[in-house]
Structure 1
Amino acid sequence: MPGPDRPRGVDRPKARRNEQLSAFAQRHGALVALVLTVAVASLTFETFATGANLENVALSSAFLAIVALGMTFVIISGGIDLSVGSVFALGGVLAAWGSQHGFLVALLLPLLVCGGFGLINGLLIARTRLAPFIVTLASMLGARGLMLNITDEGNETYLVAEGSFIGELGRGSLLGIALPIWITVGLFAVGGLALRRSRFGQHVYAVGGNEDAASLMGAPVVRTKITVYVLSGLLAGLAGALNAGWLTSGITILGQGMELEAISAVVIGGTLLTGGLGFVSGSLVGVLLLKVIQNIINQIGSLEAAYQQVVSGVFLIVVVVVQTWLARRRRVM
C-alpha cells in the first residue's frame, strides 16, 4: 500500500507549515498590526511620532494595561470579569481618600477592598459554580454602588493630599519616563514569567483548556480560579490608585466601559475567549494598538470621539472571527 501513504507524507510538511503560520498569526498578528499602524501614522501625521505624543500614548495605556493583565489570567482560565471597571474607579476613590491618612492607607486600602471583591468573585464562581458573567456583573454593580456611597452619589471628589507618595507614584518619572509606565512594564514581566514558567501558570492554562481534565490531573481547580479573580481585583485596584495619583483626585466617572476595553485588548492580543490559550505580551500589544488607534482618531481631529468605540468594536469582531477560523484550521490539521 505505498501509493496512499505517499501523498499523505508529501502533505505533512505543508500541513505543518500551515499550522505554524496559523500559530504565528494568532500570537503575533496584533504586533504586526501595531507596527504597521504606527508606521503609517508616523508618515501621515507630523505630531504622531514626537516624544511627547508617544509618551502620552504609553502613559494612557499603562492604567488599562494593568487591568488587562489581570483580565488575561481570568480569560485564560476560562472566566470573565465584568467588575474591573467599577473596581478601578473604586480603587481610585479609596486611594484619594486614604492619601489624607498616609501612603500606606492610600495604597493598602484600595488593594484590600478591591482584592476583596476579587475574592468574593472567585469564591462564588469556584465554590458554587455560578456563571462568571452573572457573579462579576453583580460585583460591578456592588463596587459602583459602594463608590457612590463613599462619594455622596458622586457629589464629593476626594483630592490626593499634596506631597503624598501615591501622587508621586502617579506623576513621578524615572530616567525621563513616567513611573506608571515603569510599574506596568515590571508587572507584565512578572506576569509573563508567572504564566509561562510557574506551576500556577500551568494550572491556569489547564483549567481554561479543560477543567475536568485538569481536576483529574490533580490541578487545584478551585484555588486557581479564586487566585485569578483575586489577582484581577488587586490589579484593577492598583491601576485605580495609580490613576488617582496621576490625576491627583479620585474621579467617580472613570472606569465606565473599561471592562470591555480590557477584554477587547486581551482578545486582540491573541487570548481565546474560550480559555486555555493566551499570552501576557499579546495583551500589552492589544492595549497599545487600541490606544494608538484612539490617538490617530484624535490626530485627525474631524472625527468625533464616538468613532473610537466604533473602531474598537469593529476591530474586536474581526479579531474574534479570525481567531475562530485559525483555531478551527489548526484542529483540522
Structure 2
Amino acid sequence: MTAVENATAASAGPRAVTRLLWWRPDRAGTPVVLALVLVAGSLTFGGSFASGRNLGNIALDSSYLLLIATGMTFVILSGGIDLSVGSLLALSGVLTAYGSRWGTLAAVLLPLAVCGVIGLVNGLLIGRAGIAPFIVTLAALLFARGLAFAVADEGNTVHIIPADLALTQLGQARWLGLSAPVWFALAAFAAGVVVLNRTRFGQATFAVGDSQEAAELMGLPVARVRVLVYVLSALLTGIAGVLVAAQTQSGLPTIGEGRELEAIAAVVIGGTLLTGGAGTLGGTLAGVLLLKVIQNLINQVGTLTAYYQQVVSGTFLVVVVLIQSRLTRRRTR
C-alpha cells in the first residue's frame, strides 16, 4: 500500500466504519417522523388507518417503490443518478404482459433481459465513456418509455396476462397475511443490505461516491462499480415491473410516471447524500414507508384534490430533510 493510500485510508477510517452500518443515529430524522406520523394517523383515523387491511395495502404499495429505491440507493451512493427507472417500470410491465403468451418463464426473462441491457448501456456510457449520468439516464427514460408505447401499439393495445398463468397466481398470492410482492421486496432489501455492508463491491460503492480520485488511487475498479450499480438499478426496477404486471394482470405503458422522482426522494429523505459516499438502506426503507404512509393519510382525508396532495407531500419532505440536517449538524459538532 502506498503512502497516499495509507493516508486516504486513515483519514476515511471512522467515516468508513459508520457508513457500513445499515442505520445511523445521526440520520434518524426519517424514522422519528415516520413513528410520529403513524401515531398521529392511528389517533386521528382510528381503525380505518390502523386496520390490517389498510396497513397491508400500504405494504403492497411500498414494495414496488422499495425495489426501485434499493437500486437507486446504490446509484446515488456511487455519486450517480438514475432518471430512467419510471420508464423502465412501464417497459418491464408491458414486456411481461407481452411475453406471457409464451408462458411464465418468457414473461419474466424478457423484461429482465431488456432492462438489464438498458442498465448495462447506461453504466457503460457513464462509467466507461464518462458521460454525465443525468444526460444518459434522461435519454434512457425517453427510449424506454417510447419502446413501451411501441410494444403496446402506441398505447392502443393492452396486453393481458392469463389468470391461470403461474406468474399471475404468484403475483396475487398472499403469504402470512402479506402480498407476495412485499416478500420479494423485503428479500431484495435484505440482500442489498448484505451486499452494501459486507462485500467489497459495497465498500467500493461508498468509496467511489465519496471520492473518485481517492478510489482510483486505492486501485478500486471505479468504472466497473459504476456499470454494476446501473445494471442493479435496472434489474430491480425490472422485477418491480414484473410484479406490478402480475398483480394487475396487464401491462400499461403509462405507469411509472414520476416514480424516478419518488425513488430519489425516498433515498434522500432516508439520509443518503445526493453527492454520494454516505447513506444507508435502512434509511431508504424508512423513506419509502414515510412517503407511502403520508399518501395513505391524504387519501384518508378524502377532501384534498391531487394538487393539494402534492403540496402536503412536498411540505412533509421539506420537514424531514430539515430534521435530518439538524441531526447531522449536531452529530458533527
**Normalization by structure 1: what TM-score?**
0.89
Query: What is the alpha-carbon distance in structure 2 between the residues aligned to residue 237 and residue 304 of structure 1?
Result: 31
Contact between 1:78 and 1:274, CA under 8 Å: does it hold in 2?
yes
1:49 aligns with 2:67: no
Distance 1:50 1:323 in 2: 30
Partners of 1:149 and 1:87 in 2: CA distance: 14
Secondary structure of residue in 1 paired with 2:50 = coil
Could you tell me which residue of structure 1 aligns to residue 168 of structure 2?
167
The offset of 1:156, in angstroms, is 0.6
Equivalent-residue separation in structure 1 for 2:253 and 2:99 (angstroms): 15
Q: Aligned runs of 1:1-333 on 2, under 5 Å?
A: 26-46=26-46, 47-323=48-324, 333=333
Contact 2:85 2:141 in 1 (8 A): yes
User: Is the Cα contact below 8 Å between 2:27 and 2:327 reproduced in 1?
Assistant: no
Q: Is the 8 A contact 2:28 2:327 kept in 1?
A: no
> Is contact 2:28–2:324 with CA below 8 Å preserved after alignment?
no
Shift of 1:285: 1.1
Rounded Cα–Cα distance in structure 2 between residues aligned with 1:62 and 1:182: 8
Report how far residue 99 of structure 1 moved. Answer: 1.1
Letter of the 1:68 counterpart:
A
The Cα of 1:330 is off from its aligned counterpart by 5.3
Partner deviation per Cα, 1:291-330 (whole Å, 9 max, x = no partner): 1000000101111233332233233344445555655665
- Runs of 5+ consecutive residues of structure 2 not aligned to the other structure: 1-17
CA contact (8 A) 1:71 1:266 kept: yes
Question: CA, structure 1 residues 326+125, in 2 after alignment: closer, same or farther (shift >3 Å)?
Answer: farther
Q: CA deviation at 1:170?
A: 1.6
Query: Which segment is superposed worse, 139-148 or 322-331?
Result: 322-331
Distance 1:316 1:172 in 2: 33
TM-score where L is the length of structure 2:
0.89
Cα distance between partner residues in 2 of 1:273 and 1:322 = 17
260-269 or 305-314: bigger deviation:
305-314
| Partner of residue 4, structure 1 | none
Structure 1: 5+ residue runs without aligned partners?
Answer: 1-18
Deviations 1:216-241 (A, max 9, x none): 11111000000000000001111011
Q: CA deviation digits over 1:162-220, x for unaligned, max 9?
A: 21222122211112221111111111110001001111100000000001101111111
Aligned partners of 1:222, 1:29: CA distance in 2, in Å? 33
Q: Secondary structure at the match of 1:48?
A: helix
Change (3 A) 1:26 1:168: farther
TM-superposed CA distance for 1:251, in Å, is 1.5
Aligned length: 311
Q: Does structure 2 retain, via aligned residues, the 8 Å contact 1:83–1:139?
A: yes
On the 8 A contact 1:125/1:132 being kept in 2, the answer is yes
How far is the alpha carbon of 1:152 from its aligned partner?
Answer: 1.1
Match of 1:128, SS state, is: coil
CA contact (8 A) 1:99 1:160 kept: yes
Amino acid at match of 2:43: L
Greater mean deviation of Cα atoms: 165-174 or 273-282: 165-174
- 8 Å CA contact 2:72–2:263 kept in 1: the answer is yes
Does the aligned pair in 2 maintain the 1:114–1:237 contact within 8 Å?
Answer: yes
Structure 2 distance, partners of 1:204, 1:24, is 18
| Structure whose CA Rg is larger | 1
Task: Sort the Cα spacing of 1:45 and 1:319 in 2 relative to 1 into closer, same or farther, 3 A.
Answer: closer
The answer to which of 206-215 and 316-325 deviates more is 316-325
Q: Distance in 1 between matches of 2:136 and 2:73?
A: 18
CA contact (8 A) 1:111 1:237 kept: yes
Shift, 1:161, TM fit:
1.8
Q: Secondary structure of 1:273's partner?
A: coil
Q: Percent identity over the alignment?
A: 56
